Amino acid sequence: MSLPAGWVVWTPGAADLPALRANAATTKRAILPFSRGVAAVERQLAKARGDVVQVGVRVPDPAAGLVTGSLFLTHLPRPVGKDGKPLTARQLLENRRAQRQARGRIYHHQELSLVTVPAGRAVLSNELWRKSWGMRDVALLATEIFPRGTDSFFRLELTSSYRELQPTLMAEISHMAHSFTVDRRGPDAGPDAGEEADAEGDDGA
């Protein structure tokens, strides 16, 4: 998966701070905010559902080290419908549209769509909300990619407490999703930086 400029990722629980800082925190004053951002994302892992493959932070200015967003790439078993069959991307989209909005959130914007990326069909979520007891908005962009021939899917999620970044995050998650590939050397082997990918994807039928 190709990353837009400013994003730094690592394997969950294996954040090598000195190595990460070399690219994301180029001044002494940048080290503390960057390190805090990495630690905050690592703490979120305890709440994550599924097998988290990669986590990351968005640091647009290495001289400042300010973390303006987080990234989670998670491998999940494909959900099953009432008939016991794995859901397609289109069916998941329909289920999501039928669900109620999450409790405790005030939504400013909420959009779901079905898109096609090289690895398969994907459900794209675009949300802007705040907690009902909070003051700060949250921009959440997510794409759930369904590679054909597997019994699982991948969820790529970008989150930021800077609402003005929502259009930028939309462009960045599109870039990531269109470069996402799946290692076909074994069943559900996970994402891979190589050339092999399931280009057909889920047809949503």
C-alpha distances out from residue 151 to 53, 90, 119, 137, Å: 17, 15, 14, 35
Please report, rounded to a whole number, the percentage of residues in the chain having pLDDT higher than 90.
Answer: 53
Q: How far is CA 178 from CA 3, 49, 72, 118, in A?
A: 11, 24, 16, 6
Structural domains of the chain, ranges and CATH numbers in brackets:
7-179 (3.40.1000)
Half-sphere exposure of 126 toward its Cβ, with a 13 Å CA cutoff?
A: 17
More confident residue, 74 or 184: 74
Element (H, E) at 131: strand 120-131
Taking residues 175-190, what's their average pLDDT? 72
With CA atoms as reference, report the closest residue to 127 among 146, 106, 148, 141: 141
pLDDT tops 80 at residue 194: no
As a whole number, mean pLDDT of residues 59-79 equals 94
17 — pLDDT class (breaks 50, 70, 90): confident
pTM: 0.84
pLDDT score at 80: 86
Angle between helices 17-24 and 28-44 (to 10 degrees): 120
Each residue of 73-119: pLDDT tens digit?
Answer: 999 998 888 888 888 899 989 988 887 677 777 888 889 999 999 99
pLDDT tier at 185 (50, 70, 90 boundaries)?
low
Q: What is the pLDDT of residues 20-54, one digit of tens each?
A: 888 788 899 999 999 999 999 999 888 888 899 99
The whole-angstrom separation of Cα 60 and Cα 54 is 19
